[in-house]
């Protein structure tokens, strides 16, 4: 049987920390599966091209059977030409003492122009994940500049927050991470995000039982998850990289290969108005992937405690969007 045509995967910021931690796993088939060949396009700023060339040399040295080609490019138009997947990682990372909001101005112009290019030259089935911060709003900006691409194909990474929440809940319950399901991250990939365990399954118990310990929930679990990025930045002196790459791969793999029918994960998608979240805001939701499309898991009961936290994060998203679109 002949193998499928290579999927064209464009990785922006490919020489950066997250890009470097992603591309070898993509080449190894961990993102699109063991039967899908890939053609990698590494997009970088001109000054980082030498580092990207070095990464391409190492990819060569991996002798990955699925990797059909690697191109290093500083021209977005060439990099996205015919692309099936866009991993929009390249951005200015937050450095110590800098608030995520400060990144908005610096980064939204990058995502506006990449959205335009994607609209013009990417494959009809292009699927985009924005990792570069502020990821939700950058995804909204890119989508707004790509009117011919369905908005649902522009997503942002909150899977890292989801995985962090799963790990913290597993530690609390003293169970394996595999025993945790149905956790949800709502809202923005920022300190206002709301990691919701009221619907979670924790082995044979319910997440609501753990949430009943309000002191742990409010003073420990929620801030640990929501401020984990800052804690890692403080500890490492650089923002999370391998865990962010891992979550990016989880996100795209589940998008393409699907999620179990009675479970869900978290991803930031353009809101359809579900759960009262204004249409078009790129917010994190409980999601399932069915036939290669993300669907929001609807109908979950949202209690007062959760509603207040979702609303606070959505208010921040609205403010970010207003700042990005009214510059």
> Which residues define the annotated binding site?
13-19, 94, 100, 107, 114, 131-133, 164
Nearer to ligand LMR, 161 or 254 (CB): 161
User: How many CB atoms lie under 10 A from the CB of residue 2?
Assistant: 4
Q: Return the residue of 15, 27, 40, 94 that touches ligand LMR, per CB under 6 A.
A: 94
Q: Does 159 bind ligand LMR (CB under 6 A)?
A: no
Report the catalytic residues.
189
Nearer to ligand NAD, 93 or 187 (CB): 93
Choose the one of ligand LMR, ligand NAD, none that binds residue 104, judging by a C-beta under 5 to 8 angstroms depending on kind. Answer: none
Nearer to ligand LMR, 59 or 160 (CB): 160
Q: Which of 108, 133, 105 lies closest to 229 in space, CA to CA?
A: 133
Nearer to ligand NAD, 95 or 303 (CB): 95
CB 233 within 8 A of CB 94: yes
CB 325 within 8 A of CB 144: yes
Structure-block tokens of residue 49: 């091209």
Minimum distance between the CB of residue 240 and ligand LMR, rounded to whole angstroms?
4
Q: Does 100 bind ligand LMR (CB under 6 A)?
A: yes
CB 176 within 8 A of CB 170: yes
Question: Cis omega (within 30 of 0) on the bond before 134?
Answer: yes
Choose the one of ligand NAD, ligand LMR, none that binds residue 196, judging by a C-beta under 5 to 8 angstroms depending on kind. Answer: none
Strand pairing partners for 290? 293
Can you list the alpha helix ranges (DSSP code H) found in the chain?
A: 17-27, 49-61, 76-80, 100-121, 135-144, 159-173, 207-211, 214-216, 222-226, 228-236, 242-257, 304-325
Choose the one of ligand NAD, ligand LMR, none that binds residue 232, judging by a C-beta under 5 to 8 angstroms depending on kind. Answer: ligand LMR
CB 170 within 8 A of CB 250: no
Q: Which stretch binds ligand LMR (CB under 6 A): 80-88, 113-121, 168-176, 229-237?
A: 229-237
Interface residues with ligand NAD (CB under 6 A)? 12-13, 15-19, 43-45, 48, 89-91, 93-94, 110, 131-133, 135, 157, 160, 189, 239-241, 244
Nearer to ligand LMR, 84 or 137 (CB): 137
Minimum distance between the CB of residue 112 and ligand NAD, rounded to whole angstroms?
11
Q: Does 251 bind ligand LMR (CB under 6 A)?
A: no
Structure-block tokens of residue 281: 């805001």
Q: Does 266 bind ligand LMR (CB under 6 A)?
A: no
Triad 296, 301, 303: Cα angle to 5° = 125
Encode 185-228 in three state secondary structure. Answer: EEECCCCCCEEECCCCEECCEEHHHHHCCHHHHHHHHHHHHHCH
Minimum distance between the CB of residue 160 and ligand NAD, rounded to whole angstroms?
4
Phi, psi for residue 264 in degrees, rounded to 5: -155, 170
Known binding-site residue numbers for NAD(+): 13-19, 107, 114, 131-133
Q: Does 13 bind ligand LMR (CB under 6 A)?
A: no
SS3 110: helix
Q: Does 93 bind ligand LMR (CB under 6 A)?
A: yes
Distance CA 302, CA 324 (A): 29
Nearer to ligand LMR, 133 or 155 (CB): 133
Q: Does 240 bind ligand LMR (CB under 6 A)?
A: yes
Contact string 114-153 vs ligand LMR (x = CB under 6 A): -------------------x--------------------
Rg (CA), the chain: 19
Choose the one of ligand LMR, ligand NAD, none that binds residue 48, judging by a C-beta under 5 to 8 angstroms depending on kind. Answer: ligand NAD
């Amino acid at each position: 049987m002949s193998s499928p045509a290579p999927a064209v995967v464009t990785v922006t910021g490919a020489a950066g920390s997250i890009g470097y931690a992603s591309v070898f796993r993509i080449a190894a088939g961990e993102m699109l599966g063991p039967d899908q060949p890939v053609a990698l396009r590494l997009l970088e700023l001109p000054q980082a091209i030498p580092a990207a060339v070095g990464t391409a040399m190492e990819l060569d040295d991996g002798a990955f059977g699925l990797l059909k080609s690697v191109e290093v490019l500083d021209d977005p138009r060439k990099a996205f030409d015919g692309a099936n997947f866009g991993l929009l990682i390249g951005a200015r990372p937050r450095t110590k003492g800098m608030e995520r909001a400060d990144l908005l101005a610096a980064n939204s112009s990058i995502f506006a122009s990449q959205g335009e290019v994607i609209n013009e030259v990417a494959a009809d089935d292009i699927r985009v994940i924005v990792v570069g911060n502020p990821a939700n709003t950058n995804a909204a900006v890119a989508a707004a500049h790509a009117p011919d691409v369905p908005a649902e194909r522009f997503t942002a990474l909150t899977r890292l927050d989801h995985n962090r929440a799963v790990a913290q809940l597993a530690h609390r319950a003293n169970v394996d991470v595999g025993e945790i399901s149905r956790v949800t991250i709502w809202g923005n990939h920022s300190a206002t995000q709301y990691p919701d365990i009221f619907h979670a399954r924790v082995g044979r118990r319910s997440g609501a039982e753990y949430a009943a310990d309000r002191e742990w929930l409010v003073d420990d679990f929620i801030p640990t998850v929501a401020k984990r990025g800052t804690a890692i930045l403080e500890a490492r002196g650089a923002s999370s990289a391998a865990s962010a790459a891992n979550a990016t791969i989880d996100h795209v793999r589940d998008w393409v290969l699907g999620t179990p029918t009675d479970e869900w994960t978290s991803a930031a998608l353009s809101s359809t108005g579900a759960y009262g979240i204004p249409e078009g805001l790129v917010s994190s939701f409980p999601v399932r992937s069915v036939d290669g499309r993300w669907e929001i898991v609807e109908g979950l009961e949202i209690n007062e405690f959760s509603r207040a936290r979702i609303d606070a994060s959505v208010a921040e998203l609205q403010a970010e969007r207003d700042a990005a679109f009214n510059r």
